[in-house]
Amino acid sequence: MISTTQLEQHVFIHNKALQRKMSLSPELTEKKVAEYETFLNDVLREKLKAILLEREGLCQEILELEQLKTVIERLQEAELTKETIKTRVDLGCNFYVQANVTDTKYIFVKVGLGLFAQFTLEEATKFISRKVEFLNKKVEKTLKESSEVNAHIQLILQGLRELQNLNYTSEQQRRDIL
């Protein structure tokens, strides 16, 4: 992983060279442009895609936990009235069977790494709240990382513009990079 400092140093060194030699040979300019474009496309944009996919997975997990919390609330209501719960259980490959749940005091919750733990309904609610809080912090971290990568991409694009002596209007500069 390249740090912000390393990227800034890289661009600074190349810009210093540009200032010393205001007129680069076309071959050297093409070589530098190719290096920047390769780094931009092969490293930064791929890293941004990976971060966005990770964030999407975290948001999906948060959604599933919130749905589980709703189910637990319904189970707590059913426990008060001593009703039998009718449900469908996925046996795998989207093959469902009907099930009747007579005892709703305990529930199994996926705690991570493919492990499930048995909780009372109250314990499960507390666990879910803590897990959602933890996942929200991870989402914030991925947002920060994606902002940093976007900043790196903008820095590289600016370097490319300078190398190619291109001037864009402010509207074109604001355009999304993906």
Pure H helices in the chain: 4-20, 26-38, 45-81, 121-164, 170-173
- Mean residue pLDDT across the chain: 84
Q: How is residue 120 annotated by DSSP?
A: E
- Distance CA(71)–CA(130), nearest Å, equals 17
Q: pLDDT at position 162, please?
A: 82
Q: Residue 140: name the closest of 71, 23, 54 by CA.
A: 54
pLDDT in tens, 16-59: 555 454 556 778 888 888 888 999 999 999 999 999 999 999 99
Query: Higher-confidence residue: 178 or 129?
Result: 129
The Cα–Cα gap between 119 and 125 comes to 9
Lowest mean pLDDT across 15-24, 25-34, 59-68, 159-168: 15-24
**Would you state the pLDDT for residue 104?**
80
Q: Please check the confidence at residue 86 and state whether its pLDDT lies above 80.
A: yes
Pairing of strands 85-90, 106-112: unpaired
